[in-house]
Amino acid sequence: MKYFTLEKTKENIAVITIDCPDGKVNKVSSGFLDEVAAIIDDIKNDKSVAGMVITSAKEDNFVVGADIDEVKGMQTAEEAVVYISKGHAILNELEKMKIPVIACIHGNCLGGGLELALVCNYRMAVDSPQTVLGFPEVQLGLLPAAGGTQRLPALIGLTTALPMMLTARTLRARQAKRAGLIDELIPPYGLKQTGIKKALELAKSGLPARKRKRSFVNFLLESNPLGRKIVFAQARKMITRQTYGCYPAPYAIIDAVECGYKKGREAGLKKEIELFGKLVVSPQSKSLTNLFLSMSDLKKNPQKHLARHVGKLAVVGTGLMGQGIAAVSTSVCDTILMKDVNLDAAAAGMKEIWKSLEKRTKAGAMLHFDRDVQYNKLVACDDYALFVNTDLVIEAVFEELEIKKRVLADVEAATGEWTIFASNTSAIPIKNIAAGCKRPQNVIGMHYFSPVPRMPLLEIITTEQTADWVTATALDLGIAQGKTCIVVKDGPGFYTTRILAPLLNETILLLEEGAIPNELDRAMRRFGYPVGPATLIDEVGIDVGAHVYEQLGPMFSKRGITASQGLKKLLAQGYKGKKNKKGIYNYDLKKKKGQKMPDENVYDILGGNPRRKFDEELIQQRISLMMINEALICLEEGIISCPRDGDVGAVFGLGFPPFQGGPFRYIDNTGAAKVLVTMESLEKQYGQRFRPARILGDFVKSGKKIYSGK
């Protein structure tokens, strides 16, 4: 067999070990399913087998889910239905086995892996931070389709299971035990032997009775049709409120679960299969799947052979950004210097990292021992004396060119020829920071996004002088920190800040023309952005936005694009956004009908035009196409090397609608010709800033798509 080994112990326990070839993880595929079916037949025909144990040969995973490449290749709903129906039939047979079936879980048990575990009679898991269970399918625009929507609620209850599936929430081993998903926690050693022992025990004594603990409220909600109706209605309202109906998968999950409760498990399983077929071929799932595969590609360093190990890291500036950069490095580097103007400031940064480590420890995400080891890698300092032999220095100081140049000069004076200097700047060109330095080949940009531990993207910026080994090392560190990294060329705003600036500028222009902030936010949320642009300006900070325009203004002026002075005017009046409760919205006023109230003084500062209603589609076109067109120009100029990087950067750095797949997927899905016509129409009406990128016209003339070339 290719995917499994099967052995029978002297006690007549069949032990199935999953070990998919050609990879570090076990994935469910057609070949995987065929072998499972053959094993089940063999065991059913062997009357001497008293029990079955399923385990994994991989170091850190049980089964991580379906083979995404195989799912992506399905072109029709019928093809998807045939595939998933096979999985249903096999798992149903496994569930009907007359002997006890034990799942021995360690590491990731996700998607199809959890559905495999759910049909087992007994689930034991290693009590370790690496053991994680969940259904991530909704992130790919899919639903748990091998019985998960029926078996999970039946096992742990509707009010626990539904949020897991709708939000892709994962449970660690102890959480899963408390929820009733896991029957027994065991130490990390002797997993297979413990499983064999449990199979023998259950073969003699029979399966233990399960009693799920439920609160009185949960009992009322789950045990009668009226209560369940309330749960399903509230779930749909929540999804609509959060996503404005842009994603079909969460609704499909609710429909499948509800069908099972109303019409029984068999009907629920059929509904699950039907909905899976529709979702697989949906444009939303295709876009989300492409994004997932792009992220997977970017987890590999094509120049790893050039990378140097970063054992000693220094972070200059221990504010929010510096803390975050140090925090994501504690599991990667051997020593992390935290340098600030004084030791109290550095110690304050270390204290925040301790809080984060302690929080993760209490949540079961790490062991106490690992918490202490990682924290003890941090060293506070207030000068550069300890910087000798530092491999990489990341500055996270104020966004002012002269300060950054001074830090670089100090670092070069304290370090040697192999020390890399990385600037965490969002807009200042790296070549300007490196101007006049001793080792420009060692200077690079590493633009992290706030909050660093949560934001997945890292934008690495190279100048014409940056050495290849420096780029490779920065990329290697970023990947080790758990980031999805894109490497872009230097220039004002690089890629992400550069394409964000026109979007924010168009938002201010619309406000100057009389638009209502709430309506702008609502229109763009319906387009798919997780945060509306008016809210985004307040959250990013009006002061930050004004600074970005100062950096990028000359570049846009050369193209005949005049930036609004709105942010500068607001800043002059003391408006900084949410941080000082003075922004486009008034944060001292109570919300009305769940909506923030605009600060009407802003209207006067931005020109005093009376408020008026704009067509929603026009708002969406003006704001989104400013970002999309700038992304095209970045591709044309070589700021990004390929559309994939542009899409990943826009989605994971700036919140471009994931179901749209990114600016370039959006053009492919909408049609380049249609986008071009819209841009030309907007240019006639609003001026040169809407002039389409030359490359867009090239795609229309060639008739090719950006990705496929067809």
Catalytically annotated residues: 459
How far is Cα 71 from Cα 33, in angstroms, rounded to an integer?
14
Alpha-carbon distance values, 459 to 19, 270, 296, 417 (Å): 36, 44, 16, 24
The length of the chain, given as a count of residues: 710
SS3 content of the chain, % helix, strand, coil (to 5): 55, 15, 35
Q: Are 281 and 301 in contact (CB under 8 A)?
A: no
Indicate the residue type of 557. Answer: S
Residue 127 structure tokens: 């009590």
DSSP letters for 344-375: HHHHHHHHHHHHHHHHHHHTTSS-HHHHHHHH
Nearest Cα residue to 424 out of 387, 398, 442: 398
Q: Are 377 and 334 in contact (CB under 8 A)?
A: yes
Q: Are 263 and 293 in contact (CB under 8 A)?
A: no
Alpha-carbon distance values, 189 to 9, 15, 106, 148 (Å): 19, 17, 10, 29
Nearest Cα residue to 258 out of 219, 290, 232, 283: 232
How far is Cα 539 from Cα 533, in angstroms, rounded to an integer?
10
511 alpha-carbon distance from chain centroid = 31
Element (H, E) at 14: strand 13-18
Return the HEC string of 152-176. Answer: HHHHHCHHHHHHHHHHCCEEEHHHH
**Contacts within 8 Å (CB) and 24+ apart, 32-35:** 32/3, 32/67, 33/86, 33/87, 33/90, 35/1, 35/2, 35/3, 35/4
Q: Would you call 305 helix, strand, or coil by DSSP?
A: helix
Q: Would you call 639 helix, strand, or coil by DSSP?
A: coil
**Contacts within 8 Å (CB) and 24+ apart, 67-76:** 67/27, 67/28, 67/29, 67/32, 68/27, 68/140, 68/289, 68/292, 68/293, 69/293, 70/29, 70/30, 71/140, 71/142, 71/280, 71/289, 72/286, 72/289, 72/290, 72/293, 74/280, 74/281, 75/281, 76/281
How far is Cα 152 from Cα 144, in angstroms, rounded to an integer?
10
Angle at 439 between CA 433 and CA 440, to 5 degrees: 45
Block residue for tokens 């559905």:
115
How far is Cα 376 from Cα 354, in angstroms, rounded to an integer?
10
Work out whether the CA dihedral 543, 421, 377, 338 comes out positive or negative. Answer: negative
Residue 19 structure tokens: 């070990």
Rounded-to-10 torsion of CA 631, 634, 636, 642? -80
Indicate the residue type of 701. Answer: K
